[in-house]
Structure 1
Amino acid sequence: MNWKGYTVIYVVLFAFATAQAVVEFAGLVESAYWLAFGVIMVLSVVKAVGVAAYYQHLRWEPRSVTYLVLGGTVAAMALTFAAAYSIL
């Protein structure tokens, strides 16, 4: 991938991060918590996939490596949700 591609991905990630900040600072968190939470989570997942695919080069790796990373991510998320649930 050339510098142009990395620059495009960087600009997209920057735009999504800015959108997350706008959602948070627009007051949606207090008035429509679950809507703001959903928007921020969707943008976070899109950003994480973009970083993994392009900056960690998973897009060009064999699918087995991608599935291995995906399995680790799912396990980490399951442990995070379990820990959060145990706090409640």
Structure 2
Amino acid sequence: MTRLKLYTAIYVVLFVSATVQVLVEQAGLEYTAALAIIMVLSFVKAAIVAGYYQHLRWEPRSLTYLMGIGLLAVVALTVASTYSIT
């Protein structure tokens, strides 16, 4: 029963953050401000999904660090690709 409450709470948090992302997009904010807010919310949502739905929270720390290194590699390649397009 505890897991059901936990997963329900996580679902509500993900639903609310997705709703906030849509509201931020339609609020007419400056592009960089809206992008920053949406990126932060997306990162939080991805961390929650990876931590709880993919069970990284209960895995050994070495596996979590391995996933973190992969995430950093993806971010580094994405940033590098934005500067290489001319």
TM-score of the pair, normalised by structure 1: 0.90
Aligned partners of 2:18, 2:83: CA distance in 1, in Å?
27
1:1-88 correspondence runs (5 A):
2-28=3-29, 32-88=30-86
What RMSD in Å do the two structures reach over aligned CA positions? 1.1
Q: Give the percent of matched residue pairs that are identical in Structure 1 and Structure 2.
A: 61
Give how far 1:71 is off. 0.2
Q: Where does the alignment leave 5 or more consecutive residues of structure 1 unmatched?
A: none
Distance of 1:85 and 1:10 partners within structure 2: 36
Matched to 1:55, the amino acid is Y
User: Paired residues, what number?
Assistant: 85
What is the distance in 2 between the residues matched to 1:57 and 1:82? 30
Which structure ranks higher in relative contact order (CA pairs < 8 Å, sequence separation ≥ 6)? 1
Distance 1:63 1:79 in 2: 24
